[in-house]
Amino acid sequence: MDTFVIKAAGSCTSGKRKRENLETKTEEGLMDTQLTCDDASRGLLSNEKATWPPYTWTKIKSQGLDCDYTSLFCKAEADDIFLELENKLTYFSDELSKVKVFGKWHNIARKQVSYGDPGLTYTYSGVTLTPKPWIPVLECIRDRVKEATGYNFNFVLINRYKDGNDHIGEHRDDEKELVPRSPIASVSLGACRDFFFRHGASRGKIPSSRIEPVKLQLAHGSLLMMNYPTNVHWYHSLPARKKILAPRINLTFRKIILVK
């Protein structure tokens, strides 16, 4: 039987890391959060010797936004996993790589696939995805997320960005198939990319409110927990970044309602 063991696990290192809270109040009383690649990888990706885990969580909060960020895998583990994903994942073909926006079909600017428990489906932007069966490397990541957060997920949506030209536009993960109030766990591997949240009230030609966007950078081996009610109020996106030449794989673990 095919298995996957993180070979690098024994060489993982971590140091004493202090808990950080990036909440800051701006003059308008709004939260303004900035997390950079350096913050994201500090400690975990360094060469300090210690046992791995523990996980050091950073709380990211704003009006109706509640996220937690940590380094889930050390660099050696993340490198192993990235390689395994590159070797084992098979992405959906062209018909399933389209989205319907305002009645028009568009090719998505990235590759996509979903894996998960049998019998689940997930529909977004006019496309219904049926997950492929779990493979060992994905079970390994899913189980690490469970160990770090206590949450069990039955589905993962995977996006592969070949370089900084690939991106995902502003959207919310608010599909009706999601278990109400369940968090979404976003694991990133490969190139560190900017990731933005924008409040719904701050969108459009005439925004009803000026709530500061929340800007993060998602590092290799990181986990971002998007907790309820983040996806009710906030849109997220991964903008194009022409200077980024390396690929990135993002896995969003979700809890989907099984309809019998």
What residues line the site for ligand AKG (CB under 6 A)?
157, 159, 168, 173, 186, 188, 195, 218, 236, 238, 250, 252
Q: At closest approach, how far in Å is the CB of 1 from ligand AKG?
A: 30
Would you tell me how many other CB atoms lie within 10 Å of the CB of residue 44? 28
Nearest distance, CB of residue 250 and ligand AKG, angstroms: 3
Q: From CA 40, how far away is CA 162, in angstroms rounded? A: 21
d(CA 134, CA 253): 12
Residue 158 CB, shortest distance to ligand AKG, in Å, is 8
Neighbours of 152 (CB within 10 A): 12
* Closest C-alpha among 54, 65, 59, 61 to residue 25: 61
Q: How far apart are the first and last CA of the chain?
A: 30
Q: How far is the CB of 107 from ligand AKG (least distance, A)?
A: 17
Which residue minimizes CB distance to ligand AKG? 250
Which of 75, 190 has the CB closer to ligand AKG?
A: 190
Tell which residue, 160, 155, 152, 170, has the closest CA to residue 239: 170
Q: Which is nearer to ligand AKG, 12 or 218 (CB)?
A: 218
Q: How far apart are CA 243 and CA 194, in angstroms?
A: 12
Give whichever of 17 and 142 is closer to ligand AKG, judged by the CB atom. 142
Output the smallest distance, CB 168 to ligand AKG, in A: 5
Q: Provide the residue type at 68 as one letter.
A: D
| Nearer Cβ to ligand AKG (44/168) | 168
With 0-12 CB in 10 A as exposed, 13-18 as middle and 19+ as buried, what is 75? buried
* Closer to ligand AKG by Cβ: residue 54 or 239: 239
Q: Work out how close the CB of 211 gets to ligand AKG at its nearest, in angstroms, rounded to a whole number.
A: 19
Nearer to ligand AKG (CB atom), residue 58 or residue 186: 186
Q: Assess contact for 161 and 193: CB atoms under 8 A.
A: yes
Phi, psi of 231 (to 5 degrees): -80, 0
